[in-house]
């Protein structure tokens, strides 16, 4: 398969329109066997996917380890990872409510200091077993992670110290692009005043189900000269027929909305996940969409959705039913 590519901001980095989010390889909610993960990565490369996103948090190093194993000698692959959490050996039992299944025996702690970012970058190189990271993202400086009360202070300290470290790494050629990876739009808007960013990974907030960033955030990001990478295009399950949204049980209102979308898609003989994958990429600021398959079977299903044709009438009907914003760009 041939995927369109798009440049990350004003950098030389280009990513494929379809990438892979590799949180799943860390065992997010469900355990993934190493052999399955490695085979899936090989198949993704063979089909033309060239962008892969990971983080120290995912499986407490396990995702980075697996990603590095399969991409170490593939110079054509673009890799992003994250900084802001460091890992230390686990000396107590894993919390039974921990989302990571069969992770590495480490535990994360936040460190947005200058030295912490530098150390996180070096640690990621070691876990990946690589001498390069293309895109470095500041991870989870949002209220979703830190709570409404603590987030402003965490964010301010991160902008004052973490940004300096990341900008130095970019200036030195250690990384090719820097950005922020979050689950909320507001930290991205707030970060624009602190320096020049190249991209923002926004998970779950610009999807077929949600388009709030259209009005203010995306025009600001476009003027800034940065790109957006859309994570969580299925809103953690609800747009593939599940009942979860934002990593928890979906509210009835959103379930009804997703059902109405599915009915419109069915009328046009288009799977709902196809529309969910294609919709975000129509916006000029969006460079890539990165679902997270666990196995080759799941990857193949995503590729089948990706290749399914979508008539223009589907988008006009979704707008006519007021299921997506009237002003949202749609695929041509």
Query: Each residue of 177-186: pLDDT tens digit?
Result: 999 999 999 9
pTM for this model (two decimals): 0.96
Stretch among 1-10, 128-137, 223-232, 240-249 having the lowest mean pLDDT:
240-249
Q: Is the pLDDT of residue 233 over 90?
A: yes
pLDDT at 29: 86
Q: Is the pLDDT of residue 77 over 90?
A: yes
Confidence of residue 236 (pLDDT cuts 50, 70, 90): confident
- Please count the CA atoms within 13 angstroms of the CA of 305 that sit on its side-chain side: 23
**What's the average model confidence in pLDDT over 152-162?**
97
Q: Which two tokens stand for residue 198?
A: 């190249």
Q: Which residues contact 296 (CB under 8 A, 6 or more apart)?
A: 36, 39, 40, 43
Residue with token string 């066997």: 33
**What is the CATH number assigned to the segment(s) 5-320?**
3.20.20.100
Maximum Cα interatomic distance, the chain, rounded to a whole number of Å: 57
- The mean pLDDT value of the chain amounts to 96
Q: How many CB atoms lie within 10 A of CB 91?
A: 7
% of the chain at pLDDT higher than 90: 95
Q: Measure CA 12 to chain center.
A: 20
pLDDT at 65: 98
**What's the average model confidence in pLDDT over 201-219?**
97
Residue 131 burial (10 A CB sphere; 0-12, 13-18, 19+): exposed
Confidence of residue 205 (pLDDT cuts 50, 70, 90): very high
pLDDT at 186: 97
Confidence of residue 249 (pLDDT cuts 50, 70, 90): confident
Confidence of residue 129 (pLDDT cuts 50, 70, 90): very high
Q: Which of 166, 210, 162, 216 is nearest to 189 (CA)?
A: 216
Confidence of residue 248 (pLDDT cuts 50, 70, 90): confident
pLDDT at 302: 98
Give strand pairing partners of 182. Answer: 202
pLDDT at 146: 98
Q: Is the pLDDT of residue 332 over 90?
A: no
* Residues with active-site annotation: 53, 58, 82
Query: Each residue of 83-120: pLDDT tens digit?
Result: 999 999 999 999 999 999 999 999 999 999 999 999 99
């Amino acid at each position: 398969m041939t995927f369109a590519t798009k440049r990350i901001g004003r950098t030389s980095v280009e990513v494929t329109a379809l990438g892979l989010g590799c949180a799943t390889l860390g065992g997010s909610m469900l355990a993934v066997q190493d052999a399955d993960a490695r085979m899936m990565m090989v198949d993704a490369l063979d089909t033309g996917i060239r962008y892969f996103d990971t983080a120290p948090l995912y499986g407490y190093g396990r995702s980075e380890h697996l990603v590095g194993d399969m991409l170490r000698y593939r110079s054509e692959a673009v890799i992003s990872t994250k900084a802001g959490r460091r890992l230390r050996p686990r000396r107590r039992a894993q919390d039974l409510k921990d989302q990571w299944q069969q992770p590495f025996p480490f535990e994360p702690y936040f460190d947005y200091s200058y030295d912490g970012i530098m150390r996180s970058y070096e640690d990621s190189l070691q876990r990946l077993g690589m001498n390069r990271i293309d895109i470095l993202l500041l991870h989870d400086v949002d209220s979703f992670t830190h709570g409404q009360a603590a987030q402003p202070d965490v964010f301010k300290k991160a902008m004052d110290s973490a940004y300096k470290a990341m900008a130095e790494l970019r200036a030195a050629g250690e990384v090719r692009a820097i950005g922020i990876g979050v689950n909320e739009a507001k930290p991205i808007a707030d970060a624009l005043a602190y320096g020049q960013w190249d991209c923002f990974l926004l998970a779950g907030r610009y999807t077929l189900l949600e388009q709030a960033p259209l009005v203010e955030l995306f025009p600001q990001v476009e003027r800034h000269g940065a790109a957006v990478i859309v994570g969580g295009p299925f809103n953690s399950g609800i747009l593939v027929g599940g009942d979860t949204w934002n990593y928890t049980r979906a509210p009835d209102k959103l379930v009804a909305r997703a059902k109405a979308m599915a009915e419109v898609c069915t009328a046009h003989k288009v799977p709902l996940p196809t529309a969910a994958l294609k919709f975000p990429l129509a916006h000029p600021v969006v460079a890539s969409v990165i679902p997270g398959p666990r196995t080759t079977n799941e990857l193949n299903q995503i590729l089948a959705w990706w290749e399914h044709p979508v008539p223009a009438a589907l988008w006009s009907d979704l707008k006519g039913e007021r299921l997506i914003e009237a002003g949202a760009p749609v695929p041509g």
